[in-house]
Amino acid sequence: MEPRPEFDFEKYNIGNGINMEDLQNEARQQYSRATEQTVKQNNPFPVEVFPQAVQQIIKATKESLNFPVDFTGCSMLYAVSVATGNTYKLQVKNGWNESTVLYLAIVGPAGTIKSHPLTFSIKPIVERDKQTFREYQKLKTEFDKACKLSKKERTQQVIDEPVKPAWQKFIVSDFTPEALAEVHRFNMRGLGVYADELAGWFKNFNRYHKGAEQEFWLSCWSGKPITIDRKTSEPVFIPLPFISVCGTIQNGILDTMAKDNRSQNGFIDRILFSFPDNLQKEYWSDKELSTQVFDNWHTILNNVLELPLLIDENYTPNPGILSLTTEAKQALAAWERSNTNLIRNAQNDHTASIYSKLEMYVLRLALILELLYYACGESKLENVGIKAATGAMQLIEYFRNTATKVHTIISGSSPVDKLSTDKRNLYELLPDNFTTSTGLEIAHYLGIPERTFKYFLNDKDLFIRIKTGEYEKKY
């Protein structure tokens, strides 16, 4: 929660008529001091870990489209993850390889531009899907024509026995395990699940078999083989699955993620949260976004998409293996010792579980950054170096803080934590006991409409209505 201004309402005779000039001056000064403290405690997204070309894109989309830098940066990490798929893995030790699989949640209040940065980042991949769909349509037309011919006619026209084509796509929105496995059969490189409303992902976990879908996702995160036996069709076996997930969710409904035991079985601990502090809806910018920005991002991500996928004799993906440089390994080993100490001294098992998962993610993010450096011409992709390792460590500390923030909210510490920034500021400035007129004066000063304030007063989780026109705060 943000620092609470210790506002001396008695000094300004709040109960006996408001001296608005003094109130505004004092509120302005104390709120300014609280804001300064908040900035110091802020959790800024480390844009500096990206290649210069990517930093420029993040800056341009922020200035022109108001994309929060956290959302754009994290969406780009997801896009590179999907584009990489099974082409490369990072070898930590013999027998221990990490992929670039990410489970990522973009968190913010309504109207704070959550979906657009993600749409922007995966657009080059969606363009690939459009291309492969056109190719699929062409093959499907030819297949349908061939099926209408008799065997004799196919022989006369020198047409082989028709084989039903499949659409090889990257991005999936209908993501039951069965649907994903079917798509994954034809795209062994890997898939990206895009859930515009991430809450729907969780709600669907138990629609068919209780707990089964959740176990599926736990296994996918770890890269365990997928086996699905079906009564009405052929079984599906994916020996080396790759499925990254990204979606958006409002901070007010984060607690839905903790239902059905997900906060106890480690599922939520596998999710990285992009969750900026003090996020508010911004006014439109007059600055236009250059088309060169779109072109630059397309070029960068297409450089990753062009990496070849090798297949072994068993028709299984055979990822290229990158090792850590000596410097990178030493830096990560030092970070791991520090993280282990945090796990040993954690206040509870949930915190320890979050920190444990970060050990895998720091390696995955290091690989993603190295691939991004390659795509921008800053790496030869011969190994994962110290720059990628230290950048990953900076990202992990950002995600450590956002995970703690989410845990505070879903653990039910206070409904105030779930409020948008403007309403939380209003709540903090309201005296413990106040009248409607007093509250309206303060809301007016903060730029909050009267109708919004009166609707806010109806929240029984935050206020007790003593009598008509008089309220008491619960927190």
Are 93 and 50 in contact by the 8 Å Cβ rule? The answer is no
Element housing 356 (H / E): helix 349-375
CA dihedral 121, 124, 128, 134 (to 10 degrees): 100
- The closest alpha carbon to 277, from 418, 421, 427, belongs to 421
Q: What is the DSSP string of 140-165?
A: HHHHHHHHHS-HHHHHHTT-PPP---
Record the tokens describing residue 215, joined without a space: 């176990």
Q: Which residue has the tokens 């099926």?
A: 147
Question: What does the pLDDT profile of the chain (475 residues) look like in tens digits?
Answer: 334 334 343 443 434 444 445 544 544 454 444 434 433 447 999 999 999 999 999 999 999 999 999 999 999 999 999 999 999 999 999 999 999 999 999 999 888 899 999 999 999 999 999 999 999 999 999 899 888 888 888 777 777 788 889 999 999 987 778 888 889 999 999 999 998 888 777 776 765 555 567 888 888 999 999 888 766 677 888 999 999 999 999 887 887 776 655 555 568 899 999 999 888 888 899 999 999 999 999 999 999 999 999 999 988 999 999 999 999 999 999 999 999 999 988 877 878 889 999 999 999 999 999 999 999 999 999 999 999 999 999 999 999 999 988 887 887 656 776 677 788 889 989 998 999 999 999 999 889 999 889 989 988 878 999 999 999 998 8
List Cβ neighbours of 442 (8 Å cut-off, separation of 6 or more).
23, 27, 426, 429, 430
The alpha carbon torsion through 102, 107, 112, 118 (nearest 10 deg) reads 10
Task: Give the pair of three-digit tokens for residue 60.
Answer: 């341009």
pLDDT at 64: 96
Q: 165 pairs with which residues across the strands? A: none
Of 297, 275, 273, residue with least CA distance to 122: 297
Question: Cα–chain-centroid distance for residue 97?
Answer: 23
Structure tokens at 406: 């989410």
Rounded Cα distance between 462 and 289, Å, is 42
Question: Taking Cα atoms as reference points, which of 358, 431, 366 lies closest to residue 401?
Answer: 358
* CB of 446 closer than 8 Å to CB of 425: yes
Burial class (CB in 10 A: 0-12, 13-18, 19+), 234: exposed
Q: Quick one: pLDDT at residue 11?
A: 41
Answer whether 374's CB lies under 8 Å from 360's CB.
no
Per-residue buried b or exposed e for 266-291, using 16+ beta carbons within 10 Å of the residue's own CB = bbbbbbbbbbbbebeeeeeeeeebee
CA distance linking residue 331 with residue 394, whole number of Å: 12
Output the 3-class SS for 205-241.
CCCCCCCHHHHHHHHHHHCCCEEECCCCCCCEEECCC
Measuring CA to CA, which residue among 396, 412, 413, 408 is closest to residue 355?
Answer: 396
SS3 state of residue 108 = coil
Backbone phi, psi, residue 293, to 5° = -65, -45
| 168 within 8 A of 187, measured Cβ to Cβ | yes
Neighbour count for residue 130 (Cβ, 10 Å) = 11
Closest CA to 420 of 109, 75, 29, 97: 109
Count Cα neighbours of 46 within 13 Å in the Cβ-side half-sphere: 18
pLDDT at 37: 40
Q: In the structure encoding, which two tokens stand for residue 41, read together?
A: 């405690």
- Exposure class string for 22-46: b at 16+ Cβ within 10 A, else e: ebeebbeebbeebeeeeeeeebebb
Tokens 């304030």 found at: 453
236, β-bridge pairs: 228
Domain ranges across the chain: 10-39+416-473
- DSSP letter (8 states) at residue 266: T
* Residue-level pLDDT at 21: 53
Q: For residue 194, what are the β-bridge partners?
A: 246
CB 119 within 8 Å of CB 139: no
Using CA atoms in the order 146, 151, 152, 158, what is the torsion angle rounded to 10 degrees?
A: 50
Residues 6+ apart with CB under 8 A from 51: 372, 373, 375, 376, 378
